Chain A
Amino acid sequence: MNTRCTAWEALLDAYLDGALDGSDEAFFRSHAADCDRCRDLLRLVSADLPALAVEDEAPRLADSVIAVTSGPACGRAEALLVTRPDGGLSADEALLLQAHLEHCPPCSDLARALDVALTTVRELAEPELDLAFTYDVLRATSATRARKRGGALPRLADRLGAWWQGQAARPQFPWEVAFAATVVLVLLFGTPLSPARRAPARALAAVQASPSWMIDTAGELTGVAGAGIGAVQQDVTERRNRTAPDRADFLRHVREAGTALLNGDPGAAAARLRVAGGDLMQLWRDWRGEEPDADD
């Protein structure tokens, strides 16, 4: 149904009376030939039009009766149906729509489908997520935070982190060691700037989850487990003192690398970082009271 159909309908009575003139009649006939709806309408209102009859299908005629009678009402019903969820219908509109739905199976089917669609879409708005999601976000944003604080040091911490990750990925660097080292690094440097930031995620998560548990773990690592928190803390303090020179070396080399980077000398920065990496390994050995590895 378009403006041509409307124009065509306006000529219908005159056509049936045989009162159409040339150009109107030409339009009337050509549109009836093109447009199923208008042709069917014409068939409905005039008994015998052999010149226009193309085919005779009873079902299509029935369809077109529906299209001519209730069709426009369905269009209106659809329009009201989709605005109804927003509560925008007047009381009268709601009443008319309801009455139509009660008598029109296609529209009431559609109304049900719309209900299902909108209810389900609301459910889909917040799908379930796995338990690790929040933690992954916090990890990603805490890395961002360190970067956001700016300066050369965080960026270096990144590179150092990459080095650390490389170390941890070596087969002879087992997860337990990474975990233990992470505990130590967190104790020594705290998390935000810690080169342990990229240490194995589970280790860091465990350490961050519970500081007191970390002290216990440190106690186990240091061999004073079960001796009480005081003993562990004392032991940790001793180890902190023992590794103070290593830490100073490490931080100095990191700072030197930072200066080199700021001076536009990435080569020198990388070299300093490698030295800092060595400091870190030394620090780890001293923390554990080990002799240097023979093969290192």
Chain B
Amino acid sequence: MELANLLESCRAGDELAWEMLVRQTQSRVFGIAMTYVRDRDEARDLSQDIFVRIYRNLDGCKDADRFLPWLVRISRNACIDHLRRRKARPPARDIPAEEALRLVAPDEAPDEEMERQARRRVVETALHSLSEINREIILLKDMQGLALEEIARLLNLPLGTVKSRSSRARLELAKAVQDLMGPAGAEATA
């Protein structure tokens, strides 16, 4: 189904279309939330809130071609609001989400899977060691694949600044990964 049609059906209140849109975008939204809050449960709750926002604002996305930047913008704003609120009032720990419903890592190829998990943890840690602005640039450019122009608009920065920040952020990230892995780790993963 074309994205434009899907969005149109969502706006018209078609529950099935909305369900499909949620399924198609939920991992991406969750990924964005995870770059702002590292805790899985917190990021999951935050993602729920993001979808409520998306749902309320569906009328605001007229152009299917600009859906992704629109989605990222809403998600980012929600994450920033969340962090602001959290700063004001530390979160009360909820009862842990139903672990039984979790998709656990598949059992097959455990070595490969473990290595992948380790690599992800390293990069996640490296990502969170960056400054806020560099982390956001990595998120928008390298994770979400937004165009530099979109990022400039979103962050309200000149294009040239976004470009040079993107380079610096990548360099910083690579160096942080290098530090965490050590030369041997880099050899093994390459």
- A265 within 8 A of partner (CB): no
* Contact B31–A127 (Cβ < 8 Å): yes
SS of A interface (majority): helix
Asked whether B27 lies within 8 Å of A127 as measured between CB atoms, the reply is yes
A79–B163 CA distance with the chains assembled, in angstroms: 12
- Counting contact residues on chain A (CB < 8 A from B), the size range is 35 or more
Cβ of A13 under 8 Å from chain B? no
**Which A residues between 138 and 154 are near B, CB-CB below 8 angstroms?**
138, 140-142, 144-145, 148
A126 and B28 within 8 A (CB): yes
Selected from B18, B28, B47, B55, the residue in CB contact (under 8 A) with A125 is B28
Interface pair B48/A136, CB less than 8 Å apart: yes
Q: Are B170 and A116 in contact (CB under 8 A)?
A: no
Per a CB cutoff under 8 Å, which of B22, B30, B123, B170 touches A127?
Answer: B30
- Partner pick for B52 among A114, A130, A140, CB 8 A cutoff: A140
Interfacial chain B residues near A129, Cβ < 8 Å: 26-27, 30, 44, 47, 103
Compute how far the CA of A148 lies from the CA of B55 in the bound complex, rounded to whole angstroms: 11
Interface residues in A4-41 (C-beta closer than 8 Å to B): none
| Interface footprint category on B | 35 or more
CB-CB under 8 A from A81, the residues of chain B are 171, 174
For the complex, what is the distance from the CA of A109 to the CA of B51, rounded to whole Å? 41
A78 within 8 A of B: yes
Q: Is the CB of B103 within 8 A of A116?
A: no
Contact with A along B165-184 (1 / 0, CB 8 A): 01110110111011001010
Asked if residues A115 and B190 are in contact (CB atoms below 8 Å), the reply is: yes
Q: How far is the CA of A78 from the CA of B97 in the complex (A)?
A: 44
Q: What CA separation (Å) do A109 and B180 show in the bound complex?
A: 13
Among A81, A83, A116, A126, chain B packs the most CB atoms within 10 A around the CB of: A116
B98 within 8 A of A: yes
Which residues 102-122 of A have a CB within 8 angstroms of B?
109-110, 112-118, 120-122
Residues 70-129 (chain A) with a chain B CB within 8 angstroms: 78-79, 81-83, 85, 109-110, 112-118, 120-129
Q: Does A132 contact B (CB under 8 A)?
A: yes
Q: A110-B174, A132-B98, A138-B18 are in contact. Are A124 and B124 (CB under 8 A)?
A: yes
Q: Are B177 and A130 neighbours in the complex by a CB distance under 8 Å?
A: no
User: Do residues A137 and B142 form an inter-chain contact, with CB atoms below 8 A?
Assistant: no
Interface residue? A2 (CB, 8 A): no
Interface string of B1-28 (1 = CB under 8 A from A): 0000000000001010011001100111
Question: Which residues in B have their C-beta under 8 angstroms from that of A114?
Answer: 170-171, 173-174, 177
Contact A82 B101 (CB under 8 A): no
B87 interface residue per 8 A CB criterion: no
A134 sits at the interface (CB 8 A): yes
Cα A156 to Cα B42 in complex, Å, equals 30
B127 at the interface (CB under 8 A from A): yes
From A113, A128, A144, contact of B177 by CB (8 A):
A113
A85 to B116, CA, bound (A): 22
In the complex the two chains form, what is the Cα distance from A273 to B103 in whole Å? Answer: 42
Contact B28–A117 (Cβ < 8 Å): no
User: Which B residues are in CB contact (< 8 Å) with A130?
Assistant: 44, 97-98, 101-103
- B143 contacts the other chain (CB 8 A): yes
Closest-by-CB residue of B relative to A131 is B101
* Cα–Cα, bound, A118→B142 (Å): 7
Give Cα distance in the complex from A94 to B109, angstroms: 37
Would you list 22 pairs from A and B whose C-beta atoms are within 8 A, ordered by A residue?
A: A109-B186, A112-B190, A113-B178, A116-B119, A116-B189, A117-B126, A118-B170, A120-B120, A122-B142, A122-B143, A123-B116, A124-B120, A124-B123, A124-B127, A128-B103, A130-B101, A136-B48, A137-B48, A138-B18, A140-B48, A140-B51, A140-B52
**Closest 7 interchain pairs by CB?**
A126-B27, A114-B174, A113-B178, A120-B123, A125-B143, A82-B170, A141-B55
11 additional A-B pairs beyond A82-B166, A117-B177, A121-B173, beta carbons within 8 Å, are: A113-B177, A116-B123, A118-B142, A120-B120, A121-B142, A123-B120, A130-B44, A138-B18, A140-B48, A141-B55, A142-B15
Interface residues of B (CB under 8 A from A): 13, 15, 18-19, 22-23, 26-28, 30-31, 34-35, 44, 47-48, 51-52, 55-56, 97-98, 101-103, 116, 119-120, 122-124, 126-127, 138, 142-145, 166-168, 170-171, 173-175, 177-178, 181, 183, 186-187, 189-190
